[in-house]
Amino acid sequence: MRRRLGLVVAVVTGLAVMLAGCSGPGARSSGNRLPANTLVIGATAEPPTLDPTVNNAAAIPQVLLYNVYETLVKVDGTGQLQGLLAKDWTVSPDRRTYTFHLQPGATFASGRPVSATDVKWSIERIVSADTSSVLKTQMAVVDTVTAVDDHTAEVTLKRPSNSWLWNMSSTAGIVIDSQSGADLATTPAGSGPYALKAWAKGSQIELVRNGTYWGTRAGVDAVTFRYFTDANAMNAAMLSGDLNVISNVQAPQALDRFSDTSRYTVMQGTTNGEVVLGMNNLNPALKDVRVRRAITYAIDRKALLASVWNGKGTLIGSMVPPTDPWYEDLAGAYPYDPAKAKELLKEAGYENGLTLRLRLPTLAYATGAGRFVQSQLAAVGITVVIDELEFPARWIDVAMRQSDYDLTIVAHVEPRDMVNFADPSYYWHYDSETFRGLMAAADAGTPQEYIDDQRAAARVLSDDAAADWLFLLPNLVVTTPQVTGLNANATSLSFDVTRAAVGS
Partner 1 sequence: MSTPVSGLPLRVVRRLAVFLVSVLVASVLVFWVGSALPGNVAQVVLGVQATPDAVARLQHDFGLDRPWPVRYLFWLGGLLHGDLGRSYLTGEPVLSQVVPRLEVTGWLVGLAMLLAVLLAVPAGMWAAVRRRHADGFAVSALSQVGLAVPGFWLGILASLVFAVRLGWLPANGYLPLADGIGGWAAHMVLPVVSLALVQASVLARYVRSATIEVLREDYYRTARAGGWRTVPALLRHGLRNVALPVVTVIGLQLATLLAGAIIIESVFALPGLGRLLLDAVAQRDLMVVQGIVLLLVVAVLAINALVDLSYALLDPRLRSEGRDRG
- Contact footprint for partner 1 (CB under 8 A): 1-2, 4-5, 8-9, 12, 15-16, 19-20, 22-31, 33, 46, 48-49, 55-57, 132-134, 137, 185, 200-204, 226-230, 232-234, 236-237, 239-242, 390-394, 396-398, 400-401, 412, 414, 420
CA distance between the termini of the chain: 60
At closest approach, how far in Å is the CB of 361 from partner 1? 11
**Shortest reach from residue 352's CB to partner 1, in Å:** 35
3-state secondary structure of 44: coil
Q: Min. distance of Cβ 363 from partner 1 in angstroms? A: 12
Residue (359 or 455) nearer to partner 1, CB: 359
Q: How far is the CB of 140 from partner 1 (least distance, A)?
A: 12
Q: Please, what is the Cα angle at 325 between 78 and 64, to 5 degrees?
A: 45
Taking the complex as a whole, how short is the minimal distance between the CB of residue 285 and partner 1, in angstroms?
Answer: 25
CB 130 → partner 1: shortest distance, Å? 9
Residue 427 near residue 395 (C-beta atoms within 8 A): no
CB of 176 to partner 1, least distance (A): 18
Of the candidates 495, 425, 422, 428, the one whose C-alpha atom is nearest the C-alpha of residue 454 is 422
Neighbours of 474 (CB within 10 A): 26
Q: In this complex, which beta carbon is closest to partner 1, that of residue 133 or of residue 448? A: 133
Q: Please state, in angstroms and rounded to a whole number, the distance separating the CA atoms of residues 34 and 226.
A: 13
CB of 307 to partner 1, least distance (A): 25
For the chain, helix (H) and strand (E) counts, in that order, are 14, 20
Residue whose CB is less far from partner 1, 45 or 339: 45
What is the per-residue DSSP string for 345-394?
Answer: HHHTT-TT-EEEEEEEES-HHHHHHHHHHHHHHHTTTEEEEEEEE-TTHH
Which residues, at least 6 apart from 127, have a Cβ–Cβ distance to it below 8 Å?
A: 136, 139, 140, 142
Cβ within 8 Å of residue 408, ≥6 positions away:
277, 278, 280, 358, 359, 360, 361, 395, 399
Let me know: does 438 contact 422? Beta carbons within 8 Å: no
Q: Please tell me the distance from the alpha carbon of residue 193 to that of residue 210, in angstroms, as a whole number.
A: 5
In this complex, which beta carbon is closest to partner 1, that of residue 15 or of residue 378? 15
Is the CB of 96 or the CB of 136 nearer to partner 1? Answer: 136
Question: C-beta of 117: minimal distance to partner 1 in Å?
Answer: 28
Q: What's the closest the beta carbon of residue 238 comes to partner 1, in angstroms? A: 9
Q: Are strands 152-157 and 174-175 parallel, antiparallel or unpaired?
A: unpaired
Residue burial 411-437, b: 16+ Cβ < 10 Å; e: rest? bbebbbebbebbeeeebbbbbbeebbe
Structural contact between residues 224 and 209, judged by C-beta atoms closer than 8 angstroms: no
Q: Which is nearer to partner 1, 57 or 488 (CB)?
A: 57
Q: Can you tell me whether residue 311 is helix, strand or coil?
A: coil
Inter-residue contact 411 to 467 (CB < 8 Å): no
Choose among 418, 494, 496: nearest CA to 458: 418
Residue 40 CB, nearest distance to partner 1 (Å)? 10
**Residue number with CB closer to partner 1 (98 or 430):** 430
Nearer to partner 1, 184 or 384 (CB): 184
| Nearer Cβ to partner 1 (8/36) | 8
Cα torsion at 75, 80, 84, 87 (round to 10°)?
160
Q: Which is nearer to partner 1, 23 or 504 (CB)?
A: 23
Query: What is the DSSP annotation of 221-245?
Result: SEEEEEE-S-HHHHHHHHHTTS-SE
- In the bound state with partner 1, the residue whose beta carbon lies nearer, of 48 and 335, is 48
